Amino acid sequence: MTVSAEQQRRFAWAVVLVLCAGSIVNYMDRAVLSVVMPQVKKDLLLSNTGYGLAVNAFLIAYMVFYILGGRLADRIGCRRAFLVSVLVWAVAKMLHAFSRGLLSLSIFRALLGVGEGGYYPAAMRGAAEWFPPENRAKAVGLFICGLSVGTLITPPLVAWITLYSGWRAAFLITTAPALVLVPVWLWLHSRIHRAYGTPDPAPAQAAAEAADSPASSGMTVSEVLRRRKYWFILFARAVTDAVWFFYLFWLPGYFQEVRGFDLGLVGRTLWIPYFAADIGALGGAWLSSGLIQRGFSLSVSRKAVLLPACLLSAIGSTAYFAESYWLALGLVSLALFGHLAWSSNIQTVITEIVPRRHVAVLYGLTGAVGTGFSALTQPLVGRLVDTSGYGPGFVGCGVLFLLAAALLASAGPIEQIRRAPPLPARA
């Protein structure tokens, strides 16, 4: 069936808006535990080290299913992979309310990681299916923005529920938005099916694959894995994932235990850093896309945002040394602004350097390595918080962003990986 360019554009943005909503709910569901960390630790008799182990259970499962979810999304498409991911994590989220100790909490966190691990490869596949490169960072920036929106609204919402009904109710009540996503997604794809004659049209993906050069379109996953460009970009993303998880899992506890915030003040103020992160995600994506549309190369446009974003995040990590809690909050906001400007672009870059037909699995591998690195660091963070406080964690965040900038610079120009031309035959 014939679909006009305007209809296709509307469908593309409708898809990415639901993906953004899914990203918001995804991060709400994983961030609840960090907000109620002091209450859960007290009720379940957990140390900081034990809390770190429960966080680690999530990260390990998340890491494994980032790869498996990417492979699944490449095989069945964004539409069905989205449904599987949301339903699994919604069930896992509700089970948290029935935790009785470290073991049960860790099992439920792991199951949450299984569901949530497949979501972002599916969402990235959706962006590649519907958006061409000049607009893809905008789409990615929008659903990456959901990360910070979810963490922005979670502290006040969960604090209010916990104050009146307890932390177990907070896990149950905040599961409802995930369940609402399912009928919305099904309704949207019924509209797409009627317009295109198929529920999985993927117009931008088909056009991109048709435009691929022979040197890139036929490349296998193993061929891409032998290229240094892919690995430098992978590790540049991976080391900064650990920074994000530090802020996500430990920031509310830091402001309560070190800066003297009570749960009410957490609810009133900790939305500020995540609001700054939203601005970074959208601003960074729109800026690099605008540079491309003004004729700058893909590589120049992306790096013009990525490298300054690293510097801002490194400066923001000095929050631990701020004398006032308001200055600390401002510096954390700067760090998260830079982080999401970086994230919306580096995650788009991954889709731009790999063959189109392997987008989800190769993107998923970068997420898995990032999550694996984060899983290694979380027990260390817990031990350091128990023995030395939060200072080493903040310093480490700054160092990791400087390392990411060096890795990005070492990757060379941002361009699609291609097969090397064959050597000329000898006469």
Q: How would you write 297-359 as a 3-class SS string?
A: CHHHHHHHHHHHHHHHHHHHHHHHHCCCHHHHHHHHHHHHHHHHHHHHHHHHHHHHHCCHHHH
User: Rounded to two decimals, what is the model's pTM?
Assistant: 0.74
pLDDT of amino acid 258:
85
Token pair of 294, please?
């003004």
Structural fold of domain 5-410: Growth Hormone; Chain: A; (1.20.1250)
Q: Whole-angstrom Cα distance, residue 312 to residue 90?
A: 35
pLDDT of amino acid 427:
44
Report whether 199 contacts 53 (CB < 8 A): no
Closest by CA to 230, choosing from 136, 339, 363, is 363
pLDDT of amino acid 304:
94
pLDDT of amino acid 11:
87
pLDDT tens for each residue of 30-84:
888 888 888 888 889 888 888 878 888 888 888 888 888 878 888 888 889 999 9
Report whether 294 contacts 135 (CB < 8 A): no
Low-confidence ranges of the chain (pLDDT < 50): 213-214, 423, 425, 427
Instruction: Map out the domains of the chain as residue ranges.
Output: 5-410
Please compute Rg for the chain using Cα positions. 21
Q: Whole-angstrom Cα distance, residue 328 to residue 317?
A: 9
Q: Whole-angstrom Cα distance, residue 337 to residue 21?
A: 20
pLDDT of amino acid 243:
92
CA diameter of the chain: 84
Contacts 24+ apart (CB under 8 A), 75-80: 77/125, 77/129, 77/200, 77/202, 78/15, 78/122, 78/123, 78/125, 78/126, 78/129, 78/200, 79/185, 79/189, 79/199, 79/200
pLDDT of amino acid 421:
58
pLDDT of amino acid 420:
64
pLDDT of amino acid 315:
95
